[in-house]
Structure 1
């Protein structure tokens, strides 16, 4: 199944993709609720596609993020990306644990939403990723068990205020505020079975590309991940639990962000994002994001109450 979420006069509605059309599901439940009820999403989609009561050309739909995740863990799994952004200094821990940080679920935006530059940022960036969506709850899972808990995948574009990020991480924490403003999710949530033909080893051979103003900036294949999504789920569930609707990002692919290219070629290689730029990401089988950058508000001053 390929599921989108569109805005209607009665509020958001899930729809199944059929060719170039979206067929509304006959339910007001969101994706997380349907995933939590085993089999409910497949039943609702199959019924909608059979009856075709409400059909909208996808090109005419106002598309929203396919889901609003309760949690978003963003990992780092592409070696070449880390090698580039670190100037060739990949820490040994990269191959010891699939590290992640918690990002802001309130920052989730639609695939075609305008993205405001975060207050005070002058080094605004994109990050091309794929996210796995959890379909059933689990705790302390093995890698072999974890695959059954993945319901499907979605494109993730994790917009980043690099100047804010680099500043805050000098404290040994983060990234946090640098990743706090916008994460665009792709047009489609695609179930695991739809990608079977693209299976490559323990990952998927899905072409990933990002463009700015229709100029190709970088690309990779999802099969370049050093850690599998099953490993990410198992690590996320260690000592805690994952729940339906949780989002786990792959991390940025090779050449999937400006900061990596700055690390390889220097800060003057490409300019940071600015109002008027349009960032487009595509991943084989998963659709796209296409977001226009717009001006953001000024940063209000914040000063400490006490100093050393």
Structure 2
């Protein structure tokens, strides 16, 4: 009975300390005006993407050849493109695709990269093989490798996600491994081993939660980087295929009319810059809270 009461008291104190720590982190974040600005930008962009069917007036695929390359105004907020399609609708739907692709890449890379990093840290023999593969992959520029993989797989949205997820996995794996190596040497991990806990329980129950902070921060930056690389691939025609709107292929379309129809380049460019900037600033803010040093 006494032991049970002691355990309950310990759990209550632990929950209280977690709540206090969370409150301190939120206050620290709110004091960082730049991070708050980044959060606002990201929230606005995500809401615009989610509410695309509500806030857009035209179908992004609907053509009106008689109204092609119309300047902003006259019912078209951002003007029309070379096929008479509403640029505002295509930019908002393109933002939706870019955010979806970037987020999917970041999450997949985080999950599999984390697993690879944890296994490498815990098993020395596996570490030799896995880290050499990661280092070999990281030695090749991301965009160059992505182009090669897309040339082999074909220009599809799903293939963009698969190829870029593979490319970004080693970055997460290296960070997770570095953190896991230090956690692995802590006395409480040795005590858990002595109790006969399985390696899976030790890795995923006790080590993984303690390496998540740097992994989450890096995942935020991968999210922003993935949007840029996806847009680059779409710009050169090996990413999201036409007629599906993506910020990259909208900019690609605008190349031939950049001097006469400035709106086709300006608006998608601004949206892309703000989105990536917002995510990076938010990532910096999260990093400052997690690691103030």
The question of a shared fold, defined as TM-score above 0.5 by the shorter chain, is answered with no
Greater fraction of residues in strand: 1
Q: Specify the structure having the higher radius of gyration (Cα).
A: 2
TM-score (normalizing by structure 2): 0.23
TM-score (normalizing by structure 1): 0.22
Greater fraction of residues in helix: 2
